[in-house]
Amino acid sequence: MSRKTGLRAAVLAVALTAGLAATAVAVAAGGTAPRLLSPNHRHVAPGRIRLVVEVPFKPVRAGVFIAVSRSRKLDRYGHLKECGDAQKGCDVISPTHWRGHEYSYVGAFDFPGYWSVTPGRYYWQASYDSDSPLGIYYSGIGSFVVK
């Protein structure tokens, strides 16, 4: 390998590393991640609770999802663990487009144990898949308290 080739390879490696670092910073800063808007960190009355999420990029056909759980347990990837049993206070729901970049879901069921009518602290996290090659984006984990 000539000295010029080695220098080019080193410059390319530095540029690639800088590019990946910039992308990681942008993702970590929340530029592409969904944002939990409401009722994040609030106390709410039981009943028709509206969950609102802001999604910066247009999601693909799979859409936007919200995991709601009584437990803050995480899966092996650091995301809120989904249980999918609504009678135990946890659920995975698909909100609909509401306005602008916002998606919402209104918890309208009233059977015992359902998160919108059963008092307690609940944790929630939104995710969506965009056309970006980076894959699925997750919000931070938020919480709210049903009185």
Instruction: Indicate whether 100 and 130 sit together in one domain.
Output: yes
Is the preceding peptide bond at 95 cis, omega within 30 degrees of 0?
Answer: no
Instruction: Indicate whether 49 and 5 sit together in one domain.
Output: no
What are the pLDDT digits (tens) for 52-84? 999 998 898 789 999 999 999 999 999 999 887
Complete DSSP assignment for 4-62: HHHHHHHHHHHHHHHHHHHHHHHHHTTSSS-EEEESTT-EE-SSSEEEEEE-SS-EEEE
In this prediction, residue 104 has a pLDDT band, given cuts at 50, 70 and 90, of very high
Instruction: Indicate whether 26 and 41 sit together in one domain.
Output: no
pTM: 0.77
Instruction: Indicate whether 96 and 71 sit together in one domain.
Output: yes
Instruction: Indicate whether 115 and 126 sit together in one domain.
Output: yes
Instruction: Indicate whether 16 and 69 sit together in one domain.
Output: no
Instruction: Indicate whether 6 and 55 sit together in one domain.
Output: no
Token match 């008092």: residue?
A: 119
Nearest residue to 93 (alpha-carbon basis) of 144, 53, 55: 53
Domain limits at 25? 1-30
What the block records as the tokens of 79 is: 């995301």
**CA pair distance 136, 78, nearest whole angstrom:** 13
Per-residue pLDDT at 41 exceeds 50: yes
**CA pair distance 3, 100, nearest whole angstrom:** 54
The total of structural domains in the chain comes to: 2
Instruction: Indicate whether 109 and 79 sit together in one domain.
Output: yes
Q: For residue 134, what pLDDT is reported?
A: 74
What are the pLDDT digits (tens) for 123-140? 999 999 987 777 899 999
Q: Specify whether the CB–CB gap between 115 and 124 falls below 8 A.
A: no
Q: For residue 8, what pLDDT is reported?
A: 60
Instruction: Indicate whether 104 and 131 sit together in one domain.
Output: yes
Instruction: Indicate whether 25 and 91 sit together in one domain.
Output: no
Instruction: Indicate whether 11 and 52 sit together in one domain.
Output: no
